[in-house]
Amino acid sequence: MRFNPRLSDGPQARCSTGKLKDAIMPYLRTMTRWESYLVSAAKVINAYKGDLPLHHFLKKFFKQHPQMGSRDRRWISQLVYHYFRLGWWKRDMEVSERLLLGTFLCEQKSNDLLAQLQPAWNEQIDASLAEKLQLSNAGELTAEQLFPFTDELSEGIDANAFALSYLNQPHFFLRIRNNRQDKILAILKQANIAYELSENRTTLALPNGTKIEELIPDKSWYEVQDASSQQTGLLFKPSRGQRWWDCCAASGGKSILLKDQEPNVQLLVSDVRRSILENLQQRFAAAGVKNYEARVADLTNPAFPGTMGNVKFDGIILDAPCSGSGTWGRTPESLAFFKKEEIQRYQDLQKRIADNVIHFVKPGGVLIYITCSVFKKENEEVAAFIEANSNLRREEGGVIPGYESGADTMYAVRFRRVG
């Protein structure tokens, strides 16, 4: 490699402020486009502190650098995400070296950047992970090195397979609605876009970056929804005329899934944030979902149950606030800034919400407890808490191992009230 842009080296470290511009300009003029991408990506990583989602930070960065074109933005973003996909492994490695290593390990097709800066790696881009590690002299890569919280994982999660899945960006999934399969597939074929369709012909995997809104502007045809999130709907099993409550509704994806299964359920949606409910209502309108009630509700407030009266529900969906650790393949920067003690904080929050909700399930009714977490404290331990503090008994469900299919990993359990 001809160039190694270190954050602590170069003219910046050797010049006084007054002489910086004169010293750095000849240096910059010798860079290739690919080398400048490494410098820009390193600048992003050095400035990013994890206080907002990385994609929002990148938008702000590119707004401050309007001279960068779409190809520049795409390459720099990709480099930064590759850096974070290495998790906690080799965090002391020089930033530029880790950027290149991440690109080599995460990419499966040859690319111009490696062809220019690491041609030997580019020639072996389709090699196995073990072969890449040997070729790059990177040493061993274990689950614990990449994901240091393996001792917290839920039962049944393959720690090695889950951790290594971070090296691959999850797929972009749609849930096809209103029997629009043939029309959607015809549009994708005409646009020459590759896809994978599930056996039940409702879950569609597309390449990341697919501009689906431009291809299919009618939102009633589909919902953007991860495959594992779609799978939680198998636990709903609603009947006509039943009363259901999506108590942590957020953007309403589970509610739309419920309504698609049985349009004639009586639905209450609630969330602690009014702005989120306003977004939900816009999404419902686009999806054609009608006949529901929405209310702002703080389910952590001990006084909340008194605001509900004597209402009981045939079904409650508790898609609980959580660490989101099962979705970090989409936001790998989250792993870099996560602290282990946060797991307990989320469990405490989930228990408070569950304790305020579970008593509104009518006899014979069901509670669907869902998280997008991989941690047993948020999953099995909260499920045990629900059983210990109510007449709800677990019927089915558990971990949904999305890491096996390029999807999120989730936890979903169906309980029924027996008395």
For 397, the token pair is 């469900």
Torsion of CA 221, 227, 230, 232, to 10 degrees: 180
Instruction: Give SS3 for 108.
Output: coil
- Asked if residues 185 and 195 have their Cβ atoms less than 8 Å apart, the reply is yes
Looking up tokens 């951790």 gives: 163
Rounded Cα–Cα distance for residues 117 and 3 (Å): 8
Q: Which of 96, 224, 117 is nearest to 170 (CA)?
A: 224
Q: Which of 312, 322, 327, 330 is nearest to 350 (CA)?
A: 322
Element (H, E) at 144: helix 143-146
Cβ contacts of 295-300, under 8 Å, gap ≥ 24:
295/268, 295/269, 295/270, 296/270, 296/271, 296/272, 297/247, 297/270, 297/271, 297/272, 298/272, 299/247, 299/248, 299/270, 299/272, 299/352, 299/353, 299/356, 299/357, 300/272, 300/349, 300/352, 300/353, 300/356
Rounded Cα–Cα distance for residues 317 and 146 (Å): 33
The answer to the question of whether 314 is labelled as a binding residue is no
The answer to the question of whether 271 is labelled as a binding residue is yes
Residues designated as active site: 372
Looking up tokens 């097709």 gives: 109
From the annotation, which residues make up the binding site?
271, 298, 319
**Residues forming the annotated binding site for S-adenosyl-L-methionine?**
271, 298, 319
